[in-house]
Amino acid sequence: MTIRVVHVRDNGPLLESLYTDVLSPSFPPDELETAEWLRSGVADGTLLVAAAVDQGGSAVGAAIGQWSPGARTLLLVYLAVLPGSRSGGTGGLLLGEVTGTWQQRLRPRATFAEIEHPLANSASTAHGDPAARLRFYARHGARALDIPYFQPSLRPGSARVYGMLLTVLFLAPECAGAGAGTVAPDVVRAFLDESYQEAAPGDDPASLALRHALDRPEGVPLLPLTEPGALPISRPG
């Protein structure tokens, strides 16, 4: 089956299909933004959307990126492929757009991706295998920030998602930390402040642990994804 990648720049049937057919079945409710969030982001240009479609034009995968203009950082919010199309190269095609076309278009200081920690999340038919996903990102050169990251609440009534990793797909040379293999803490802080200003970490133990991990003048270490046991895990308290 031939798969091609197209960029979605308006609200239409393909965007609706990406949300309904690809994103909604692929993520638990607390990890999934609303359809209105997707439509609004495409309309105002803060979201980048790449769709993988088959020969008939049906959506089989999606990559959704969120641009933070103040911090000049890009977050790969979602990368999803329909269960029947996984392990066939579609994810790699989509990630190639993120690390290629999107970088050329935006010239970000850093590109991040949120992924589930495989030791804190179980595999499922619908949502995929976190261990396989970690290996996928490792093959594409991603590394994890050494911080106990959690996804903040996306909207009233939704819960934080603990056991997440914030990985780095691209880092501009000037954003490296003083130490070898590190990221300048201010780059990460700027990303968090702009991306989650309405759900900023509070004074609970998990938030304090996250802030403490960023308090490293020499830089925040980047960890290989090949050793899951060495990667940080955020917890409620």
3-state secondary structure labels for all residues of 97-110: HHHCHHHHHHCCCE
User: Given a cut of 70, is residue 191 above it in pLDDT?
Assistant: yes
Tokens of 54: 């088959």
pLDDT at 202: 74
The residue whose two tokens read 């040379």 is 173
Model confidence pLDDT, tens digit, residues 77-127: 999 998 766 667 899 999 999 999 999 999 999 999 999 999 999 877 767
pLDDT more than 90, % of the chain: 83
User: Given a cut of 80, is residue 206 above it in pLDDT?
Assistant: yes
Query: Whole-prediction pTM value?
Result: 0.94
Does 93 or 198 have the greater pLDDT score?
Answer: 93
For residues 151-164, give the mean pLDDT.
91
**Confidence band (pLDDT; 50, 70, 90) for 147?**
very high
**Confidence band (pLDDT; 50, 70, 90) for 141?**
very high
pLDDT at 200: 57
pLDDT at 199: 53
- Domains present along the chain, CATH in parentheses: 1-108 (3.40.630.30), 111-237 (no CATH)
**Confidence band (pLDDT; 50, 70, 90) for 201?**
low
pLDDT at 91: 94
pLDDT at 92: 95
For residues 51-56, give the mean pLDDT.
94
For residues 45-60, give the mean pLDDT.
95
The pairing of strands 220-224 and 4-8 is unpaired
For residues 69-83, give the mean pLDDT.
94
User: Would the CA dihedral through 204, 225, 184, 108 be positive or negative?
Assistant: negative
For residues 166-179, give the mean pLDDT.
98
Contact 28, 151 (CB under 8 A): no
* H or E element, residue 221: strand 220-224
User: Given a cut of 80, is residue 188 above it in pLDDT?
Assistant: yes
Q: What is the DSSP letter of 164?
A: E
Quick count: other Cβ atoms within 10 Å of Cβ 63? 27
DSSP conformation letters of 61-127: EEEEEEEETTTTEEEEEEEEE-GGGTTTTHHHHHHHHHHTHHHHHH--SEEEEEEE-TTTS--BTTT
For residues 197-211, give the mean pLDDT.
78
**Confidence band (pLDDT; 50, 70, 90) for 212?**
very high
**Confidence band (pLDDT; 50, 70, 90) for 160?**
very high
CB < 8 Å & 24+ apart, contacts of 115-118: 115/164, 115/165, 115/167, 116/163, 116/164, 116/165, 117/163, 117/164, 117/165, 117/228, 117/231, 117/233, 118/228
CA angle 42, 45, 51 (to 5 degrees): 45
User: Given a cut of 80, is residue 128 above it in pLDDT?
Assistant: no
